[in-house]
Amino acid sequence: MLDDFFVRAMVAGIGVALVAGPLGCFIVWRRLAYFGDTLAHAALLGVALAFLLEVNITLAVFVVSSLIAIALLLLRRQSGLSSDALLGLLSHSALAIGLVVLAFMTWVRMDLMGLLFGDILAVSRTDILVVYVGGVAILTTLGLIWTPLFAGTVSREVAEAEGRSPGRADFVFMLLMALAIAIAMKIVGVLLITALLIIPAAAARRFAATPEQMAVIAALIGAIAVVGGLFGSLQWDTPSGPTIVVAAVTLFAVSLTPLARLLAVRHATGVLKQ
> Would you say residue 271 has pLDDT above 60?
no
Going by the DSSP 8-state scheme, the letter that residue 207 receives in this structure is T
> Would you say residue 272 has pLDDT above 50?
no
Q: Which long-range contacts (CB under 8 A, 24 or more apart) does 83-89 make?
A: 84/34, 87/34, 87/35, 87/37, 87/38, 88/34
pLDDT digits (tens, 9 = 90+) for 221-243: 999 999 999 999 989 989 888 89
Confidence of residue 265 (pLDDT cuts 50, 70, 90): low
Confidence of residue 249 (pLDDT cuts 50, 70, 90): very high
Q: Which residues are within 8 A (CB) of 193 and not within 5 positions of it... i.e. 6 or more apart?
A: 20, 36, 40, 43, 180, 181, 184, 185
Picking from 2-11, 15-24, 73-82, 114-123, which range would have the lowest pLDDT averaged per residue?
73-82
Assign a CATH topology to domain 4-193: ABC transporter involved in vitamin B12 uptake, BtuC (1.10.3470)
pLDDT at 1: 40
pLDDT at 139: 96
